[in-house]
Structure 1
Amino acid sequence: MSDSPTSETASANAPVATRVIGLAIIVLSGLQMMVVLDGTVANLALAPLQADLGLSDSGRNWVLTSYALAFGGLMLLGGRLGDAYGRKKMFIAGVSLFTVASLLCGLALNEGMLIAARALQGVGAAVASPTAFALVATTFAAGPARNQAIAIFAAMTGVGSIAGLIIGGALTEVSWRLIFLINVPIGIALVGMAFRALRETNQTRLALDVPGAILATLGCTGVVFALTEGPEMGWGSIAVIGALAAGLVALAAFLFVERTADNPLLPFSLFADRNRVATFLAIFFVGGAMFSMTAFVALFVQDIMQYSPLRAGIAFIPFAFGLGAAASVASKLAVKVQPRWLVLTGVVIMIVGLLYGSTLDSDSTYLANLFVPVIGIGFGIGLAMVPLPLCAIAGVPETEIGPLTAIAQVAQTLGGPLALSVIGAMATSKTLSLGGTSGKAADMNPAQLIALGEGYTFALVGCAVCAVFAGIAALCIRFTPSQVAQAQAAEKAAQGIA
């Protein structure tokens, strides 16, 4: 009977088929916006953070890299945890951990506490973020409801980026601690609503590749530590050499584990196609260039051009608009033009903008010297990044779209901290070679500030080199527009699978 308890339970657990706007989409898209916003505002807070806590240049970089390493290194495992133990449970656990870590970030008393809390934030995001997207498919019925929910979820990336620049800048004006503490009430609200709005998914008991996830994260961390600390501790330091050796050993062990694991995070069969390998490399280097560029431009405009955090955030808004405009153009051209030429065009625009940016100094002004390059670099990144995820899933069955999309996300996320470790070492070495020093810009004399600015702009040369590697990788991609069009259709079909 329609009013039986069994029928009522089935109805309550059925995917939403009509009204999309409600608690469920607020919870899922809210998490996405919070994670994106957190990554954006951290760049704006680097200069105030360094001044307040007395961070070294390497410590400042660790504020970004500790989060990104944990997020990228554990993202694949985070998605599997949702499958194994229930996505609703893991979503709530991830958001709860992210919220607690945000509180610890806001209350941090020193460099070590802040970096550890940022890493914990990354762990929470690695569990909650992939689970949130998967929950969209199980919470909303296939068809218009799910399509609308996915569109809202995806839009939060753009909204979070823009909001992060404005809200983050405004909060940092008061105190950098607020950019983390604001996550606490938001996270508590999301957890409370999640208990009521989300439906639990079926649990699939499968072998979890925990050793693989840990080894990959530790390996990347060891390499990043060596490259980040090398300029200040000395490249011959036992700690630097030991961290590099340990990192390489851990990565080698990770490759061995992946070959023997029952359910590997990184199935090597997915890398049989050389075009796909080239695609992942291009994603890695474009992600590295973007991550490092935003960090050093934010530092340059605050430490050298004396912008407030809010003004710095507003100055970055044209970058987001340039990226969005290019994404719109590229999504249409990707099915008509060979993807490698789109990516290469975007990379060339990036290189030109970055090399021009490397010539800036303290006498530069925003409208005359920064406005056009900021838009141009954003446009170049957007033009390059849109075709690449489609190339990652071109020519594969729907069952492999999820794993390949996840690997592409990991490549982009890990590209950031690994590139920043190298580029940050370049910047610090350049500053020190010119007689500069590490630490608070407000305490530096004019000569030291000039050296600091030279280091920041030299970092943009490193970003341009990253873009060059991305272009070389793009030349090796041989997917056709028809294959990209099929990938677009397959991606939409995969999103429609319950």
Structure 2
Amino acid sequence: MTDLSETTTDAPADATGHGHRHLGWALAIICTAQLMVVLDATIANIALPYIQADLDFSAHALPWIITAYALTFGGFLLLGGKVGDMLGRRKAFVFGLTVFAVASLIGGFAQNEAMLLGSRALQGLGAAFASPNALALINTTFEPGPKRSRAFAVYAMMSGVGAAVGLLLGGWLTGSSPEVFGTVIDGWRLTFLINVPIGAAAAFGALFVLSESERHPGRLDIPGTFTATAGLLSLVYGITRAGDRSYGWGDQWTVTALVVGGALLAAFVVVEMRVAQPMLPGRILANRDRAAAYSVMMLAPAAMFTMFFFLTLVIQNVMGESPMRTGLMFLPFSVVMVVWAVVVSRLVQKVNPGILAGIGGLVAAVAVFGMSRMPYDDALAGGVGVDISYAKDVLPFIMLMPVGMGLMFISNTMSVLHRVSPADGGIASGVLNTMQQVGGALGLATLATIAFNSSDDKVAQLCRGLAAQGTCAKGPSQEVLGVGFVHGATTGFFWCSVMLAAAGVISIAFNRIKHQDLGSGGGPGAAPAAH
């Protein structure tokens, strides 16, 4: 077995980048950058109550801290991948990391809601250039075979474990309030500021360690980028606004946002069909196996974003745990994901990826369904309250979920770039990341709307039942609010499990890639690899 850290100083990088001198350092920089942009989707989760209090966020605006990042990340990913293909993947990678570090600095010093959400959107833009080119750099740096399989496994592990690492790191940072030059810095601000030195170091190191890729002349699809990004932003805004009972589905601006979003996305499809060099070439989605992998990588993050968002709020706001303890409660997820990634990287060389991803979807569905059974007492005569046990109601499912997610993330990441020509490497990986971020943003917006409405309905129902006791005369009690929130969260978890089960079925039914072809980079129509 050849170790990824071995170097080959006598072979210059060819057009595909194979023969790179420092494979270990290259992989370390690529995966550090990927871990940073992925964990930033969740690192602020644990800090949400503190950000809400400091910057006066409303409850319905709170999910935008997550979705503002995810939407600009997903909306500009295809552009970032295309720029990498045209101008060089290392250049685009370094540009993205630099923008990400600057945006993190702005977020760390945000003074109001608009400034923070703006910095999150700018972080997403930087991530959109860094992430797709990171994956494409693996494809061009490592030759097909065991080395590339292990490199993809490490990369996919970072993508999967990044969410949990973000929660753990976010808990530790949020719980601290260091004093710098006589000024106490709120812990939640550190969840942004920590990216500044990491992003700067990765960008600097990339200039010396990574080789530049071959350039492929082309034109940027600006109309496609605008219609796709603006359409998604408008659609998610409409869904989020509808979830606020102050507005609802009948509100004129809710309807306007939804109609405009739908029209812009329809325009995106028309634009892509007519431009000479579309941002989303039809040939990328024409392959059935790849289309199935993309579909799964849209559904799975939708469930995972929602699970992390609501579970962190349940643990802190309902169970009353501190930020640090909340982060530690997610540590088993990270540990299982790391260990399991090693197993899956070997399994994918022996079992077809569609089967592995299908099993993974069903396992993850069982895990999240288990979370949907969190107990609460809404029997009015017997009292109202919540008594959730971490050991019984959370831990088993936190440990089971990464087993399913690992199978899906690693198998589908490798499936997406199977039989993709070097010229399309950046755009193919950009679509993969787009599906993850757009799926996560749309999923969180939709399921948060369902969950919050379900929660409000439950609180109203309980207050009607307790009216005779005067319990809600001055507003719902903490016990009633706790039951209402858990009811809403478990409703969200249930629909997450439905999404994951659907992802599993899609993988088994439509991804027919053979593991023999996947491991060798071959198969009918495979692009020849340069050595």
TM-score range, shorter chain: 0.7 to 0.9
Matched with 2:227 is 215
CA contact (8 A) 1:78 1:131 kept: yes
Change (3 A) 1:153 1:380: closer
Contact 1:142–1:496 at 8 Å: present in 2 too? yes
Distance change (3 Å), C-alpha of 1:128 and 1:395: closer
Residue 218 (structure 1) shift: 1.3
How far off is 1:398 after superposition?
A: 6.5
8 Å CA contact 2:85–2:423 kept in 1: the answer is no
**Aligned partner of 2:65 among 63, 66, 71:** 63
CA offsets 1:291-333 (integer angstroms, 9 cap, x no match): 2111111111111111112211111121233334444444444
Give matches, 1:238-317, under 5 Å: 238-317=252-331
CA shift in 2, pair 1:39/1:497, >3 Å = farther
8 A contact 1:426–1:462 mirrored in 2: no
Q: Is residue 2:439 matched to residue 1:408?
A: no
User: Gaps (5+ residues) in structure 1?
Assistant: 1-9, 438-442
Would the aligned equivalents of 2:101 and 2:200 in 1 still touch at CA under 8 Å?
A: yes
2:422 counterpart of 1:388: no
Q: 1:401-445 deviations in whole A, cap 9, x for unaligned?
A: 6544432332122110111111000111012112379xxxxx963
Deviation at 1:380, TM superposition (A): 1.9
Task: Tell me if structure 2 keeps the 8 A contact 1:393–1:487.
Answer: no
Alignment-derived partner of residue 484 in structure 1: 515
Q: CA deviation at 1:397?
A: 6.0
RMSD across aligned C-alpha pairs, in angstroms? 3.5
- In 1: Cα distance, 2:89 partner to 2:12 partner: 19
CA contact (8 A) 1:275 1:477 kept: yes
TM-score normalised by L of structure 1: 0.85
Q: Gaps (5+ residues) in structure 2?
A: 1-10, 177-186, 377-385, 462-475
Give the share of equivalent positions with the same residue, in percent: 36
Higher mean C-alpha deviation, range 13-22 or range 366-375: 13-22
Superposed, which structure 2 residues align to 1:84-483 within 5 Å? 84-135=86-137, 156-157=158-159, 160=162, 163-174=165-176, 175-232=187-244, 233-334=247-348, 336-337=350-351, 339-360=353-374, 361=376, 362-393=386-417, 403-435=427-459, 445-477=478-510, 479=512, 483=514
Equivalent pairs, count: 481
C-alpha deviations, 1:367-425, integer Å up to 9, x for none? 12211111112212223333333444556666656544432332122110111111000
Could you say which structure has the higher helix fraction? 1
Aligned-partner residue type, residue 197 of structure 2: P
The answer to whether the 8 Å contact 2:48/2:62 transfers is yes
Residues 391 and 479 in structure 1, CA contact (< 8 A), matched pair in contact too:
no
With structure 2 as the length reference, what TM-score do the two structures score?
0.80
Partners of 1:140 and 1:391 in 2: CA distance? 16
Output the amino acid matched with 1:463. Answer: C
Structure-1 separation of matches of 2:443 and 2:415: 22
- Give how far 1:155 is off: 6.1
Measure the CA separation in 2 of the matches of 1:391 and 1:260.
28
